[in-house]
Amino acid sequence: MTDPTPYVLFPGTAREALTFYGDVFGCAVQLHTFAEFNRADGPADAIAHGGLTGGPVALSGADVSGDERPVRSEGAALA
């Protein structure tokens, strides 16, 4: 059985956030843009899918598009 992987919808900051967490946890970061996925529902350089690989934590995410809402959390913890 594998642990769940958080998938965060960022408000246009997925590249910066995933790169930051990759640095913090010593992980490689894979990023794929809207342009790579032939998506026209946001900026071409927005992140359509990204994630940390080869490190101690699992985290994936993307930039929101259209009417999607970005992550918003208060008082939550993952352990």
SS3 state at 15: helix
Q: What is the pTM of this model?
A: 0.88
- Look-up: residue for tokens 């997925």? 14
For the chain, report the end-to-end CA distance as a whole number of angstroms.
17
Measure CA 67 to chain center: 17
> Which pLDDT tens digits describe the chain residue by residue (79 residues)?
578 889 999 999 999 999 999 999 999 999 999 999 999 999 999 999 999 999 999 999 999 998 889 988 889 877 7
What is the pLDDT, as a whole number, of residue 11? 96
